[in-house]
């Protein structure tokens, strides 16, 4: 099944690349791109089979995200983020699954999970308000997962905080149209969302802590290996895969550009041993970044498939590997792009767009290395990290 999705992406490669230029101009995915992604089934890859999904191995999902991002960075980014949401919805309340997928298994869900809202308990559910940034692909989504905190009657979050993931339809939130004017990943349309005092029934609210520590999926009763994988393995996977894929796209365009280029000294670049060594070394680093990310997913899959529950230390090691893969990939293409000469800076060449988009990918919160590396190091020493070092692990 996954190979069919990849084949469809390959068949649309030229169109997807051209539409990436259009997405940059529009500040969101072109409608044609979203249509192609639906036809290819990319957002249904991690979706349960009983709701029209493919339930593929997460490695296969990551590989298709990389391929998409290498052609159209913004489409790859949306593929990686929106494509993970069906994985979580698979262990949400069945009433919620029916509400979203019954009439259209290709329904897309936006996010983000950042706790930008407050949920005040009322009979049967919550009153919900807030504002969120970075809702990637939101113009083509009909539902959203939004992060929130439980609040008191005064509207302020309770202490200690209680995190929620709230599932709401497009009719309950506003997209702020002029909120995405950025230097990279412009075509993702990652706009702000606003919710103003809407009612959300209990069955459309998930306990954020239980989602992240794996309790939610076990309470639901899922037994498939795919859905028993840690949230901290699955949620970052699409984002890092997209970042690596964008870097692979830059390498391909750099190779095409350098193939016939003559440098400022009048030497064919292919005959310049200094450039060839530097680019070769960087390309090997980029390949290693890809391989380490995929091997990390395979390792976690094998662990869970054997009936084991990953420890915090194992989850932290996985996150450490994933973050390092992103930084290694972007650092590699910095060395490649810097050796493409002054004309590579021109806006009519794709190199600069891929370079900007790759760097924008590093700005996502899941790619911040400090707390992840610190928490992983403490875990390896047998020390339980404090709560702020356990976030997103």
Q: What is the pLDDT of residue 153?
A: 86
Q: Write down the domain spans for the chain.
A: 2-101, 109-207, 229-389
Q: What is the pLDDT of residue 141?
A: 98
CA gap 202, 205 in Å, rounded? 5
Q: Using an 8 Å Cβ cutoff, are 158 and 150 in contact?
A: yes
Say whether pLDDT at 379 is over 80. Answer: yes
CATH code for the structural domain at 229-389: 1.20.140.10
What is the tens place of the pLDDT at every residue in 150-163? 999 888 899 999 99
Which of the four pLDDT bands, split at 50, 70 and 90, describes residue 2? confident
Say whether pLDDT at 86 is over 80. Answer: yes
Cα separations in angstroms, 49 against 1, 8, 9, 52, 106: 12, 20, 21, 5, 12
Q: What is the pLDDT of residue 3?
A: 82
CA gap 202, 152 in Å, rounded? 16
Of residues 296, 290, 287, 291, the one with CA closest to residue 318: 296
CA 293 to chain centre: 13
User: Exposed e or buried b for every residue in 136-156, given b needs 16+ CB within 10 A?
Assistant: bbbbbbebbbbbbbbbeeeee
Query: Left (φ > 0), alpha (ψ -120 to 50) or beta: where does 141 sit?
Result: beta
CA gap 105, 174 in Å, rounded? 23
Determine the average pLDDT of the residues in 117-124. Answer: 97
Determine the average pLDDT of the residues in 196-212. Answer: 97
Q: Domain 109-207 has what CATH class?
A: mainly beta
Residue 336: how many other CB atoms lie within 10 Å: 27
Q: What is the pLDDT of residue 224?
A: 98
Give me the architecture of the 2-101 domain, per CATH: Orthogonal Bundle (1.10)
Which of the four pLDDT bands, split at 50, 70 and 90, describes residue 35? very high
Q: Using an 8 Å Cβ cutoff, are 263 and 274 in contact?
A: no
**Which of the 8 DSSP states describes residue 311?**
P
Q: Using an 8 Å Cβ cutoff, are 117 and 198 in contact?
A: no
Burial class (CB in 10 A: 0-12, 13-18, 19+), 121: middle
What is the tens place of the pLDDT at every residue in 308-325? 999 999 999 999 999 999
CA angle 380, 383, 385 (to 5 degrees): 100
Determine the average pLDDT of the residues in 139-147. Answer: 98
CA gap 86, 101 in Å, rounded? 10
Determine the average pLDDT of the residues in 271-279. Answer: 95
Determine the average pLDDT of the residues in 333-355. Answer: 96
Query: Left (φ > 0), alpha (ψ -120 to 50) or beta: where does 155 sit?
Result: left
> Mean pLDDT for the chain?
97
CA gap 81, 291 in Å, rounded? 20
Cα separations in angstroms, 253 against 18, 342, 353: 14, 15, 11
CB within 8 Å of 83: residues ≥ 6 apart: 42, 43, 45, 46, 61, 65, 238
Tell me, yes or no, if the pTM score tops 0.85.
Answer: yes
Q: What is the pLDDT of residue 242?
A: 98
Determine the average pLDDT of the residues in 5-28. Answer: 97
Phi and psi dihedrals of 245, rounded to 5?
-65, -40
């Amino acid at each position: 099944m996954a190979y069919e999705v990849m084949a469809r992406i390959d068949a649309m490669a030229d169109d997807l690349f051209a539409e990436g230029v259009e997405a940059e101009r529009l500040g969101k995915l072109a409608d044609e791109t979203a249509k192609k992604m639906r036809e290819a089934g990319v957002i249904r890859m991690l979706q349960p089979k009983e709701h029209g999904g493919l339930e593929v191995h997460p490695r296969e999902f990551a590989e298709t995200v990389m391929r998409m991002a290498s052609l159209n960075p913004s489409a790859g980014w949306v593929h990686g983020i929106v494509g993970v949401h069906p994985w979580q919805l698979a262990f949400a309340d069945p009433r919620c699954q029916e509400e979203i997928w019954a009439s259209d298994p290709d329904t897309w869900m936006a996010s983000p999970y950042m706790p930008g809202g407050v949920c005040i308990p009322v009979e049967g559910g919550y009153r919900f308000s807030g504002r969120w940034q970075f809702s990637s692909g939101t113009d083509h989504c009909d539902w959203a997962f939004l992060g929130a905190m439980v609040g008191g009657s005064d509207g302020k979050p309770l202490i200690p905080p209680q995190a929620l993931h709230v599932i709401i339809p497009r009719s309950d939130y506003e997209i702020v149209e002029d909120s995405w004017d950025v230097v990279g990943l412009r075509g993702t349309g990652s706009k702000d969302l606003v919710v103003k005092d809407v009612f959300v029934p209990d069955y459309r609210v998930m306990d954020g802590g239980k989602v992240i520590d794996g309790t939610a999926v076990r309470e639901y009763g899922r037994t498939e290996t795919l859905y028993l994988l840690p949230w901290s393995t699955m949620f970052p996977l699409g984002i890092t895969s997209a970042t690596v894929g964008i870097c692979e796209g830059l390498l391909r365009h750099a190779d095409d550009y350098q193939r016939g280029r003559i440098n400022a000294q009048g030497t064919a670049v292919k005959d310049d041993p200094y450039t060839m060594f530097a680019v070769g070394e960087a390309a090997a680093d980029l390949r290693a970044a890809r391989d380490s990310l995929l091997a990390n997913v395979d390792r976690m899959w094998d662990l869970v498939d054997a009936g084991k529950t990953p420890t915090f230390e194992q989850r932290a090691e996985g996150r450490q590997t994933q973050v390092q893969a992103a930084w290694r990939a972007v650092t590699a293409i910095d060395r490649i792009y810097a050796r493409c000469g002054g004309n590579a800076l021109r806006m009519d060449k794709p190199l600069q767009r891929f370079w900007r988009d790759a760097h924008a990918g590093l700005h996502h919160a899941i790619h911040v290395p400090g707390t992840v590396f610190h928490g992983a190091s403490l875990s390896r020493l047998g020390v339980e990290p404090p709560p702020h070092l356990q976030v997103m692990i």
